[in-house]
Each structure stands twice: as structure tokens, then as C-alpha cells.
Amino acid sequence: MESHNITLIPGDGIGPELTDATRRVLEATGVKFNWDIVHAGTDVMAEYGTPLPQHVLDSIRKNKVALKGPITTPVGSGFRSVNVALRKELELYCCLRPCKSYAGTPTLYNDVDIVVVRENMEDLYAGIEFEKGSADAGRLISFLGELGANVRPDSGISIKPLSEFGCRRIVRFAFEYARANKRRKVTAVHKANIMKFSDGLFLAISRELAQSYHEIEFEDRIVDNMTMQLVKKPQQFDVLVCPNLYGDIISDLCAGLVGGLGVAPGANLGDGIALFEPTHGSAPKYKGMNKANPMAMMLSGVLMLRHINETAAADKVEKAIAAVIADGQNVTYDLKRDGEQCNAIGTAQVADAIIDVMHKMP
């Protein structure tokens, strides 16, 4: 049997515990992995002088597939997010976040099946920022003044670029994904009524590309209305395509619709490279407590298995996770109903329960 070369980045905070649990479940499928375990984040700063050492990028470029735990971005340290840097360095332009209800999850809805397709490179996450009071902010403000745009001199400024190239690439991805996965509808999310030249461009390109996919229904929603409709009637939505910032917020909202961050997986995809990671962060308050839910990372592993064409193994892990959720006994605190949290089990024990179910499967 072929062995798959995969870069494994355990991350920090709750990352290493989730990675350990996920790895055990993935290996229990019988699929063979050659894990190249590499580390990134503040913990490696002292050793390598950077939170994202070159050998981490080299490993991902070589293996083309990576599985990653969350990595902390310290607030106000001047150190940019490793997560954002990885997506940029590797040109992982699409963040795919499926949000699907599993029976037995304590939520308001039991029939949500939404896939968020988020643009990952542009928008307010492009990292083009000017600090209040800096010389560059001053120069930019004077230049804008010359163009007739008055910005207060005591402003901090973040720039929102959306390119035709970037919009086309992500919208095309959303339609191609919908076609390949037999999804019925694509909804473009924007605020084109206010940001006419950035979100307006995104909307115009979405409408244009929709013409080439007649079998897929297309609609658009203004982002504020979108959030209200998602909470009110999420079942009406299927694939959502969003510029970076709205995609970030909406994917957490959709995670909440299906039971929270503990069950929300993700994939960062580029041309030929794929990095799989849960939507959630490193939840530092739960670090080392054997408390966090490993299912989001395991479901990211399921996406990875599908990506490497290990479909039977992917189905097996997903079915076992669904069975454990439906049974409701062997789940972490976040999947227990109010008042039942004291019966929650730990991260490692969830992995044991899932492996147990897999062993009993035909």
C-alpha cells in the first residue's frame, strides 16, 4: 500500500493534544503516512529567529499536503500571524470550510450543510497597514487629501485591495467546487452597496462567472442581511463565496450553527498545495488540560484523506465521528447539553471512542 508523505505541524496551545488524537484516528484507518513533523510559532522563535522557519515551508512545498494544529498569534507583539503568513507564502488562495450538522449535536438546527469558500490572500488581510502617527500614514493621508479624500490625521489605516484576478480565481473555485460536489447553489456575499469598487468588483465578477454554470443556481447577499438570514434560516444556503474578512466571520458563524468550533474543519488550498487545519484557534486557556474537542481537527483530516484519494478511509472516520456524536456519551464539554458538562470526557478519550467505533465497523 502506498504511504503518503504529509507535513504535520502540531501547533501550540491545544494544538499538540489535538494533533496526537487526530493522528491516532487517521492511522487507525490503516492508511500509511510518512509524517514529517515540523514546528512553527513563538515556541520556535528562540531556536530559528523566526516563527515560520524555512524548513517548514520547504517541507510543505515538497510534500504538497500538510495537516496543521492551531498556532497562537500574540496580540500586540509586532509578530504577524504564522497562519496568515503560511497562506501567503504558499499562495493558498482558498479557505474551504464545510459546516455540516451531525445528528445529536446540541444546536438550534439539525439540517445545516453549508460550505464557506473564503478568499484567503486579499482584502483587509493583505497586511497593508499604516500605524497612527507614523511617517507613512502621514504621507498617505496627505496624498489622499490631494485626491480630495479627507482622512483625519490621527487615523490608523488598513487597506482593502480586491483584484479582478483574485475575485475571478476564488469565484471560479466556488463554482467548480459546486459542480464537482453536486451542490445546487452558490451565494456571493458582499457589501457592494457601500464598497462599490472592491466588493462591487467581486459582485460583478461573480455575476459574470455564474453565466458559465447554468446548472448551478446563483444569488448574492449583502453581508449584514446574510448574517441575519443565516441565523434565521440556514437551510436555504449551500455554497457561500466570500471575500476574506466576511468569509472569516461567516465561517465562525456557520460553525456556531452546527455545534461550534469543536466540529468545524477547514482546508487552505492553492494550486497543487493543500494545508488542512481546524477553523478554531489555539484556545490557550485549555492548553494541556485534555479538554478541547479534537473533532474539528479530525474532520480536517477527513478532508485531507479525500484530497489524497483515500475516500473509503475518509468515509470511515467521518461515520465514526458521527456515531460518537449521535451516541452523546463520549464527547467533550462543548458537545454536551447544558447541565451535562460534568459528564464530558477528554480529548484523548474521544480519540479512543472513535477508534473503538471504527474497529467495530465492517
Phi, psi of 91 (to 5 degrees): 55, 45
Minimum CB distance to ligand NAD, residue 311 (Å):
25
Which is catalytic among the residues 12, 123, 199, 248? 248
Alpha-carbon distance of 101 to 34, in angstroms, equals 32
Closer Cβ to ligand NAD, 283 or 305, answer by number:
283
Give the footprint of ligand NAD on residues 273-312 (CB under 6 A): 277, 280-283, 285, 292-293, 296
Alpha-carbon distance of 25 to 347, in angstroms, equals 12
Minimum CB distance to ligand NAD, residue 203 (Å):
27
Alpha-carbon distance of 47 to 58, in angstroms, equals 17
Active site residue 113: no
Residue type, 96: L
Closer Cβ to ligand NAD, 37 or 194, answer by number:
37
Active site residue 352: no
Which is catalytic among the residues 12, 102, 177, 191? 191
Closer Cβ to ligand NAD, 222 or 344, answer by number:
344
- Cβ-proximal residue to ligand NAD, closest one: 281
Active site residue 191: yes
The grid coordinates listed for 112 are 445545516
Minimum CB distance to ligand NAD, residue 108 (Å):
18
Active site residue 93: no
Residue 122 contacts ligand NAD per CB under 6 A: no
State the first-to-last Cα distance of the chain, in angstroms, to the nearest integer.
Answer: 20
Size of the site for ligand NAD (CB under 6 A): 17
Residue 346 contacts ligand NAD per CB under 6 A: no
DSSP state string for 86-147: HHHHTT--EEEEEEE--TT--SS-S--EEEEEEE-SSGGGG--EE-TT-HHHHHHHHHHHHT
Quickly count: other Cβ atoms within 10 Å of residue 127's Cβ.
12
Residues at the contact surface with ligand NAD, assessed by CB under 6 A: 70-73, 83, 261-262, 277, 280-283, 285, 292-293, 296, 334
- Active-site residue list: 125, 191, 224, 248
